[in-house]
Chains A and B, each alone.
Chain A
């Protein structure tokens, strides 16, 4: 079920259009006044009832999302610390010091690299997977269940599994590589201990988690393409690859955008994978903005600096929000 809730029609005009169920006859004359009463009562009472019904949710969201967001900005300009109730305005001091810190610059780089590389890998893999899963076959449901496991398992638990899989001594992957003689048992790869490999490992875990999500979303987009379109393309003489790249994928642009946008958020704002897998190490080589914000703000007790670091997530989020709105708007026009 797919839908477009961005176009609710006004209740007043809808109610004016709906006509009484019985058009003529003696019973009709009894119902008509009742109908009119409902219409007028409905039209008058609706805005109030509506406001009453959504204001708890809106209030909650304002209190627990909008207000803390404002607070984060406020802290970033202060010297707030954990354990101290004092707080003074310090202007741009926090920003100055973090912008000079090499850890911060590495974190920004990493956040961008991890996110971009992960999205590219994920889109390619999930497109291939979605194509493979498109036509029904026996056992498809079971395979789908298996494929979904990385996404639905709690982030921290899947990641801790990988911590064991990527252990420098006991890694299952190392064992395999040794047995096909690609790696020497005397010099096993330090998957999480060597900066380059550690970055790759973090990216790999993100991809592992995101491919199922992305695949399922792309599948939904693929099945939404009317089946006559690829048939028309086949009759027009288009082969598999041409139909895929010139017809199917362009038609799926909105949904691919949704998958990429969500994937970007999930990767860019995630701190769990980094925290559990590498704790930002070795030597900050896998630090990202959210993880750095956590280590600085909570472990390091410097709430202000932590808040300042986390605010750097905002520009990317704004771009993503803009992207989402564009997708929703363009889909509306079609």
Chain B
């Protein structure tokens, strides 16, 4: 080896930082761009001579004002939040007992059921949206947020069951056995012992479900037409235009406000999500 150990170390370090630098810039710059565009005056924004990465004219709050006062943005945020909360509740109600049952109480065919549930996660909305649009229309839920409340758990429940199943399995059976010796029924042991201990897993499901609701596009676009009932994920790209004119400043502001807080929370729970995806593929 011609190079000394320290030289090789430095070389590796430089490559690493270059790779990190390039990718961080490529991946994050659109958000930096959104921040700038949010506060840039239109004259500045639409002037192709000006440097897009800095402010040539003073920053402005006009886009934000427009967004909050003259568009349905706040309404959409409200709709999304409402749907989110209800769907979270439904998801927890359906998946916590199911995950526990699959983790504890069933044998061979329980394993098959578990795999079956995971496989349903692979059936995409872009396959089911056409028949579901008919079903929704026939049920009279067309153009209301209740159509989404009905359908969204089909996206959130399978993955949540999978996530929670792994979580419950890691809780030793002895805990429940001890509770039952102390007089609780099996269901009582589940409610009073297992659920409180699993709070962080349950919290993960809450966050995950909520982010899925905010991310969803196809069903919201298909089932809901009127602007006032729409979710933020569909409202922003579709309704923040007048004719052919996009209000880019406000659009960027809308994206930023809806993305960053979610990103922040998601980041905190990242390791658990990864566990959900990689389940069965990596032996710990």
Contact = CB atoms under 8 A, between A and B. Distances in A.
- Indicate whether A and B are direct neighbours in the complex (CB within 8 Å): yes
B134 A80 contact: yes
Contact of B154 (A45, A65, A131, A164): A65
B244 interface: no
Interface string A284-323: 0000011001100110000100110011011001001100
A186 interface: no
With most chain A CB atoms within 10 A of its CB, the pick from B124, B248, B271 is B124
A113 B52 CA distance: 33
A42 to B, nearest CB: 6
Given A8-B114, A153-B262, A327-B280, A272 B217 contact: yes
A31 B258 contact: no
11 contacts: A3-B169, A4-B284, A50-B106, A51-B101, A66-B120, A163-B246, A211-B27, A221-B281, A224-B282, A265-B122, A303-B133
Given A164-B251, A175-B48, A156 B262 contact: no
A165 B30 contact: yes
Interface of B: 12, 16-17, 19-20, 23-24, 26-28, 30-31, 33-34, 37, 45-46, 48, 51-53, 93-95, 97-98, 100-108, 110-111, 113-115, 117-120, 122-135, 150-151, 153-154, 157-158, 161-162, 165-166, 169-170, 173-174, 177-178, 180-181, 186-187, 211, 214-215, 217-218, 221-222, 232-234, 236-237, 246, 248, 251-252, 254-255, 258-260, 262-264, 266-267, 270-272, 274-275, 277-284
A69 B45 CA distance: 47
A331 B278 CA distance: 11
Contact of B111 (A2, A6, A45, A132): A6
Contact of A2 (B104, B132, B236, B275): B275
User: For chain B, what secondary structure do more than half of its interface residues adopt (helix, strand, loop), or is it mixed?
Assistant: helix
Interface of A: 1-12, 14, 18, 21, 31, 34-35, 38, 42, 45-47, 49-54, 56-58, 60-61, 64-66, 68-69, 71-72, 74-75, 80, 82, 125, 128-129, 131-133, 143-150, 152-165, 169-170, 172, 175, 185, 208, 211-212, 216-217, 220-221, 224, 240, 254-255, 257-258, 262, 265, 269-272, 275-276, 289-290, 293-294, 297-298, 303, 306-307, 310-311, 313-314, 317, 320-321, 324-325, 327-328, 331-332, 334
A258 B100 CA distance: 25
Given A42-B180, A221-B281, 5 more contacts: A5-B280, A49-B101, A158-B259, A269-B126, A320-B122
A49 B173 contact: no
Given A65-B120, A132-B20, A71 B131 contact: yes
